[in-house]
Amino acid sequence: MVESTLEMAAPLPPQPAEMPRPPASIVPLWGLPIVGAVLVLEVVAIAGNWLWALDFFHVVGGGLWTGIDLFVGLVIGPIIGRLSVQARVEFSARFMPKMLLIMPTLVTMTLASGWQLARHLQYLDSSYPRHDWVVASFIVVGVMAVIALGLLEPANLAVLFELRKPKPNGMLIGKLMRRFTYTAGITGVMQLATLVIMTRLAT
Amino acid sequence: MIQHEPLPDSFAIVERRLPPITEVAVATMILIVIGGIYMAAQIPGSVSLAPAVALLAVAAVLVVADLVLLSRIRVFAWRIFRIVFGWALLAYIVIAGMIEYAFVTDGTRGGPLVVLSLMLLVYAVDIPLILAFSVARYQEPDAARE
């Protein structure tokens, strides 16, 4: 505990000239057309009641969302927690801008298609025998949304803005990254509940 | 003679105490999420709107209270706040619009649609507020840049 506090309080070491910085736009602009295309295709699939496409969006989006959450929360997160502040800064400058585009897109893709699939397959009707499992999935998603949007994403953005400063505050970055690591771990564990629910519904 | 509030240095920016904007906004989000789950669990059947309306009303009061608290902060990185809030608002209007579109396509009408739309409106303002405040609170206040 004392060790981690000292580590957090350590000033940022002298930065080399090639110190990585997040892009000036924060969000990688080259990724926006891809996000736009995914969202447009999803709207078309919903409008056309295109079951195969809805299934594709839900399975692919859900698989990636769950996989990335588990991997970041349970593998990458603990590794980041043990890195030096300098290494965390270098990792964050490259990793977090991409996460800002990838995760909201995957979440929107998965939830919108999942809702439409559930409607088509009559899972939303309260008479459906496993309706309780469907409601349980809403609750899990709701808890994850609160953690992701209320804690994880704000910490992510704040770190990126801090990294743009001429002299980033290492103590603040350490504090925010610790929040990122913990919340990513919690959403990773919550994804295990998603896997249980989804396999129950599909069986 | 105008009295200016002293500008904090970089350490004080991180350590200074600000109103609980984030905490109130997260509480608002929790209420909206609970209301959304309550509605989604009953749609497309008949929904008793009273609990959802109550949750929505409290959430709306909290958002307004948060905006009032925010407006009372004098020394703050308002320029950064506006940039982040603006772009986040645009993103969440798109997301809320997609959710609204799905509900309309699915045939949700009348009271449930009104309540869901107002919930989405609160959500679309609340999330950008959390993001923008979380960033701006650690930035150099505007006046210090002049």
Q: Where are the domains of chain A?
A: 21-202
- B37 → chain A, closest CA residue: A138
Terminal-residue alpha carbon distance, chain B: 20
Q: Is B27 in CB contact (< 8 Å) with chain A? A: no
In a domain, B6, yes or no: no
Query: What is the reported pLDDT for A8?
Result: 42
Could you report the per-residue pLDDT of A136-189, keeping only the tens digit for each? 999 999 999 899 889 988 998 998 898 888 888 878 888 888 888 788 888 888
Is B18 within 8 Å of chain A by CB?
no
ipTM of the complex: 0.84
CB contact under 8 A, A158 and B134: yes
Give the integer Cα–Cα distance in Å for B131 and A158.
Answer: 8
Instruction: Work out the pLDDT band at B1, boundaries 50, 70, 90.
Output: very low
The mean predicted confidence, pLDDT, of chain B is 87
Using a pLDDT cut of 90, give the percent of chain B over it: 61
SS3 of residue A136 by DSSP: helix
Number of domains in chain B: 1
Domain span including residue B86? 19-141
How many residues would you count in chain B? Answer: 146
**A115-127 average pLDDT score:** 88
| A1/B93: higher pLDDT | B93
In a domain, B92, yes or no: yes
Question: Do residue B98 and residue A155 have CB atoms under 8 angstroms apart?
Answer: no
Residue B51 tokens, joined: 């609990």
The long-range contacts involving A122-126, CB below 8 angstroms and separated by at least 24 positions, are A123/A201, A124/B40, A124/B43, A124/B44, A125/B44, A125/B45, A126/B41, A126/B42, A126/B45
Considering only CB atoms, A108 lies closest to which of B14, B98, B105, namely B98
Whether B146 is in a domain gets the answer no
- The predicted pLDDT at position B9 comes to 61
CA dihedral B123→B124→B129→B130, nearest 10 degrees, is: 50
Cβ distance of B139 and A126 shorter than 8 Å: no
CB-closest option in A39, A139, A153 to B37: A139
Q: Is position B97 within any domain? A: yes
Q: Which residue of B has its CA nearest to A153?
A: B131
* Residue B14 covered by a domain: no
B134 touches chain A (CB under 8 A): yes
Q: Is A31 on the interface with B (CB under 8 A)?
A: no
Quick check: A195 pLDDT over 70? yes
- B10: in domain: no
Q: Is the pTM of this model over 0.95?
A: no
B104-121 average pLDDT score:
90
Please check whether residue B76 lies inside any domain of the structure.
yes
- B21-35, B54-68, B104-118: least confidently modelled range: B104-118
CA B60 vs CA B85, B115, B131: distances in Å: 18, 12, 18
Choose the mutation target among A8, A156, A172, A180 for the interface with B, i.e. most B CBs under 10 Å.
A172
Using a CB–CB cutoff of 8 Å, tell me whether A39 touches chain B.
Answer: yes
DSSP H helices, A72-84, are 77-82
Distance from CA of A78 to the nearest CA of B (A): 24
